[in-house]
Amino acid sequence: MTTLIRNAWLLPCTPDMAVIEGGHVLVEDGIIASAGPGEGPPRPGAELIDAGGDIVMPGMVNAHAHLPMTLFRGLGEDVDDRLFRYVLPMERRFVSPDMVRIGTALGAWESIRAGVTTVADMYYFETEVGHVLDEAGLRGVVGQTIADFDPPDHDSIDAGFALTEKLADTFAGHDRITASIAPHAPYSTDIPVMARVARWAEDHPDAPVQIHLAEMRSEMDWAERTHGCRPVETVDRAGLLRDGLIAAHCLYLDDAEIARMAAAGVRVAHNARSNAKAGRGIAPVDKMRAAGIPVGIATDGPMSGNTLDLFAQFGPVSMFAKLLGGSRKPMPAAEVVRMATAEGARVLGLDDRIGTLTPGMAADLIRISLDAPRLQPVYDPYATLVFAAQPEDVTAVMVAGRWLMRDRQVLSLERAKVLRDAGQIATQFRAEMARIDGDET
């Protein structure tokens, strides 16, 4: 199948972050055959699309999420102890392969609607997450969580590794779904488990490792109390501070740790909104990037950040850097878009396949309308994307040459079923919250 898009305001997200008016993209067999100014090479019989001056850019990369947690969106909002009061007991009771599939489908719908084409996920029953993302046509890095707190899908570390092995087998050689291993966090795996993960990763060089790192004060306290050091040091002692490690959050880093992570080839997923909503702080993104650490933009789970669209992250990513820097200059809009595309792809180790619109890359692309009066006038498309655009403005989404959304209609998932299934789980959750609140009074 061949598709030729013309008359696009093309943002290929190449290193120069060029803006090409009146550009084209030619897609052949799921791969970008040509992208640049002008009408492109003639291809008789190709599906021809006039973008009418709309933005066409790479699909966005969500560098860290817990998709099934869409079902917890807004639950216990503002309740300071909600993790122990609601979330952990409810996860233990309700998380099942079915619940994971239903939550992932809701998250996949939202991701497609918002122009996110690749999601790095970590949760439980992660093979199910992979299956649903695959069916939805999305690209995913799916990380099986391993933790020592008796999580819903494994009662021992051995069982956690067995799930991971099954996940890796299931998606071996898959074009869009990449299996990943996800030790939950230093405090919930400790050094011996992280060391075992490092050995597993040596044997599975195609599987990225994802971890929560330097996210909480209590994590700093744990590292100091248990090992007399900081969290990054515990990861290093385990041999896990290695090329390709995807570290989520990274709020509490000193300059020496940043240099050490950069030298080791670690990549970071920046969860601006989630971290701020928890009152935890602002990750030193400019410092990390200046040191050479690739940093992607991430939503975290919808319990923490409430949405899975990167537009809602763009403002915070830019504003927080400007607040830390004390001027309007840090983190220009084009850099935010770079982090959401090419740099995000690099964080996930997928930059040989996605992140830019250049020949040979997979055809993961989105089309964004600038028609809404709230976007007008447009002097700089990056400023418009970062500070004014919203998921509603995304009109079409293609992954690996397949249209997942056209004319704002998601094609690869059934909206009514997604909502009905999610509604049934939410009803159970509401009853359980009432029971928990009732027990207490």
Single out the segment in contact with its own copies by CB under 8 A; choices: 5-13, 19-27, 257-265, 425-433: 425-433
CA distance 179 to 176: 10
Contact between 282 and its own copies (CB under 8 A)?
yes
Considering only CA atoms, which of 173, 177, 166 is closest in space to residue 124? 166
Candidate residues 96, 330, 411, 432; the one interacting with its own copies per rule CB under 8 A? 330
Contact between 326 and its own copies (CB under 8 A)?
yes
CA distance 343 to 86: 36
Candidate residues 166, 390, 412, 432; the one interacting with its own copies per rule CB under 8 A? 390
Candidate residues 2, 220, 387, 403; the one interacting with its own copies per rule CB under 8 A? 387
Contact between 69 and its own copies (CB under 8 A)?
no
Candidate residues 17, 264, 319, 411; the one interacting with its own copies per rule CB under 8 A? 319
Candidate residues 67, 298, 310, 418; the one interacting with its own copies per rule CB under 8 A? 418
Q: Tokens at residue 409, please? A: 């209609």
> Least Å distance between CB 307 and its own copies?
5
Cβ–Cβ < 8 Å for 56, 73:
no
Q: Is 254 in a helix, a strand, or coil?
A: coil
Contact between 307 and its own copies (CB under 8 A)?
yes
From the number of C-beta atoms within 10 Å of its C-beta (0-12, 13-18, 19+), residue 430 rates as: exposed
Contact between 419 and its own copies (CB under 8 A)?
yes
Question: Site residues for its own copies, window 102-121 (CB under 8 A)?
Answer: 106, 109-110, 113-114
Cα separations in angstroms, 435 against 79, 425, 438, 440 = 16, 15, 5, 9
Cβ–Cβ < 8 Å for 305, 314:
no
CB of 96 or CB of 390, closer to its own copies: 390
Question: Site residues for its own copies, window 188-227 (CB under 8 A)?
Answer: none
Host H or E run for residue 58: strand 55-58
CA angle 171, 138, 411 (to 5 degrees): 130
Contact between 317 and its own copies (CB under 8 A)?
no
Candidate residues 332, 344, 349, 401; the one interacting with its own copies per rule CB under 8 A? 332
Cβ–Cβ < 8 Å for 52, 362:
no
Report the half-sphere exposure of 252 (CA within 13 A, side-chain side).
16
Give the binding site for its own copies (CB under 8 A).
70-71, 73-80, 82, 106, 109-110, 113-114, 273, 276-279, 281-282, 305-309, 312, 315-316, 318-320, 322-323, 325-330, 332-333, 373-374, 376-380, 382-384, 387-388, 390-392, 415, 418-419, 422-423, 425-426, 429-430, 433
